[in-house]
Amino acid sequence: MKPIFLFIYYSIAQHLPMQPFPGYAFFYRVRRFLVKRIIKKCGEKIIIKDHCYFGNGARLTVGDRTQLGQNAQLGGEIILGNDILMGPDIVIMATSHNFDRIDIPINQQGADKEKPVIIGNDVWLGTRSVIMPGVKIGNHCIVASGAVVTKSFEDYSIIGGVPAKLIKMRK
């Protein structure tokens, strides 16, 4: 059945409108119904905005009340905690390419070892932020819009920049 749910999601449901379009709550329920049957683990009351891409979902875990943002791109083993808020155009990748050899083109060197991404509870990912492989973002963090997160950050961090750095603590 999973292939059927994937087909319906990617061919129809991901294109359904979101808030403030009339009937958006129904469209959210349709996407949630399908995604619960696609991804590895799905929490309660999640929201999937339009055009969210997560491959076949086999390695995606989503906690309760988490929002998968509009145009989000999620690839590889990703664990999202509870109550995550995502702005549009978020990229979270647990995979990358090998590039160690200079005698072989990068596109022929194959994939690097997958490095899971873990995002804690109560995290806000700002518009167009990018989370790179192997990153762990602690609970209650804020990631500024446009940040490229290449390393892990502890609970209550506010981070931003390219590459992202600690701006201040929320406490």
**Angle of helix 24-36 versus helix 2-11 axis, rounded to 10:** 150
* Chain segment 59-70, per-residue pLDDT in tens: 999 999 999 999
Map tokens 């931003």 to a residue. 160
Q: Rounded to whole angstroms, what are the CA distances from 152 to 45, 118, 129?
A: 27, 9, 14
Q: In percent, how much of the chain has pLDDT > 70?
A: 100
Q: Mean pLDDT over residues 21-42, rounded? A: 95
Domain ranges of the chain: 2-169
- Domain 2-169 grouped into CATH 3.40.50.300: no
**Length of the chain, please?**
171
Q: Which of 15, 51, 97, 140 is catalytic?
A: 97
Is residue 77 scored above 90 in pLDDT?
Answer: yes
At position 139, the amino acid (one-letter code) is N
Map tokens 């683990």 to a residue. 41
Give the whole-angstrom CA distance, residue 83 versus residue 144.
Answer: 17
Asked about 97 being catalytic, the answer comes back as: yes
Question: Does a cis peptide bond (omega within 30 degrees of 0) precede residue 133?
Answer: no
Give the whole-angstrom CA distance, residue 123 versus residue 143.
Answer: 8
Map tokens 């209650």 to a residue. 140
State phi, psi for 119 to the nearest 5 degrees: -120, 125
* Predicted pLDDT at 131: 98
Mean confidence (pLDDT) of the chain: 96
User: Which runs of consecutive H residues, i.e. helices, occur in 16-155?
Assistant: 24-36
